[in-house]
Chains A and B, each alone.
Chain A
Amino acid sequence: MTMLEISDLVAEWDPVTGQRVRIRRDDVVARLCAAGDERAARIVRRMPVAGGFLDPVAVDRLLVRVHTELQRLNEELHMARRFAEILVPMLTAARVTGNRPRVVDIGCGLGFLVRSLAASGSLGAAVDLVGVDLNRALVAEATRLAEDEGLPCSFVCADAFALTEPATVYLSSGVLHHFPAERLAGFFRAQDRPGTQAFVHYDIAATRLAPFGAWLFHRARMREPLGRHDGVMSARRAHSDQVLLSAAAHATGMETFLFEPPRHTNPLCAAMRPVLGVRPELTGEFRRAMGRRARGLVPARTRAG
């Protein structure tokens, strides 16, 4: 059975022009039915249309609601602290290059990570925090929220790899499983660019428990049927450690690691685990700055072997 997330199907932007693509509801329903997902098809059938096309305003409102609910899960899982424990040593190592670091969150949604890191000040003041997403409505809401709280960060509606200024560190949370395995290599290769020193991408750990945990957690914490559906589907689509490391190896100028993957820690504590990449010349400094936590770094070759 093909595993599809509704949120991937109901909103689409042309990657070149940035223009929104009109989506016929019947096409989405047909795709979900063909994938054998009647429940998802029922959810989409209830979404409002104008002339057969999904109403973009209603879709945007729904996605903002879902992402707002999703933020609660990120808060409970301490995602900002998890990123900070890796980003602080990463930036310590990257500052050796002398440039002001720029952290870019790919597929930032409502920008929870960027805003949370900005609010905590855990990365220090001398860093630019930028959230990037193709969804204009989410970027507008992230900008509004950041301005409302006076947070030192910014948001851009664009392709993260087409920004004029390069990122020192790319990061993402819950984005990797949206890529089919065969497109992951291209995603990692795109980060091996001049000026970029590292990346850290957290995603759901592909364990046997993950779909049940996701069902339970989304059932308990989310109200929107779309969010509950996509939450479970995310866990079912999650890539294995091996797939992620193989794909990350395509960033040939980086040393790649998993950090505390489920096989190396209590699987219930590793609901989310990151794949990291660091320039080889910075790896020593990064490990030093990580301190005792560096023991949780599992290099690609160990896993591959």
Chain B
Amino acid sequence: MAATVPVLLGLLALIDGGFAGFRAATGRNARIRKRRYYLLAARRGYGVGAAGLGFVALLVATALAVSADPVPRYAELVRAGIRLLQILLPFAALVVLSLLGYWLLPMRESTFVILVGLGPFTLLRPAVVLGATAWSVLGSTDWLVWAGEVTAAVSLLAVEPVVHRRWYRAPA
């Protein structure tokens, strides 16, 4: 658990960064063939997400390094991470299922998936991230848990607007 939880959270953050980059670039390029355009946008989102993740990791690592009792504090961070995953993993699973449905189902059914899945999930995502953060930090009194998770949530939610404003403000 000590390694699995941070690795899972890191993977989720990086994958989410890629999708955030994709979303940041949507509606800004009216060409028909946009595969390379979207791949570049996903890489940019991934990069910005990785930078945010690196900052959170640095914050936590520095705090642990100067802490008098790093082992119980790390254990507290892991417990908080588990609480985060309790909400984020089911949501991520639903998103993955919706994406698979959109890609694999016939045309009409994939429209159904957009209307009941991917569209609403895009709107729900910030609320899910904030809800998971609240659920996680409220179970802890350690300031490092609060600082690390609030910073992580902000950096996660900032990826899309940052990528959009930096690279995709105007139509391509």
Contact = CB atoms under 8 A, between A and B. Distances in A.
Interface string A87-107: 000000000000000000000
Contact of B112 (A65, A217, A222, A266): A266
Nearest to A109: B30
A216 B117 CA distance: 11
Q: Is the interface of B mostly helix, strand, loop or mixed?
A: helix
B140 interface: no
Interface centre among B27, B30, B119 (most CB of A within 10 A): B30
A246 interface: no
A179 B130 CA distance: 44
A213 interface: yes
Interface string B97-131: 00000000001111110111001101100000000
A276 B136 CA distance: 55
Contacts, number: 72
Q: How large is the interface on A (under 10, 10 to 19, 20 to 34, 35 or more residues)?
A: 35 or more
Q: Is the interface of A mostly helix, strand, loop or mixed?
A: helix
Interface string A254-296: 0000000000011011010000000000000000000000000
Contacts of B28: 68-69
B37 to A, nearest CB: 12
A81 B107 contact: yes
A170 interface: no
Contact of B30 (A67, A219, A271): A67
B165 to A, nearest CB: 11
A270 to B, nearest CB: 8
12 contacts: A65-B170, A65-B171, A67-B30, A69-B27, A71-B27, A72-B26, A78-B111, A85-B107, A115-B32, A220-B120, A265-B108, A268-B112
Interface of B: 26-33, 107-112, 114-116, 119-120, 122-123, 170-171
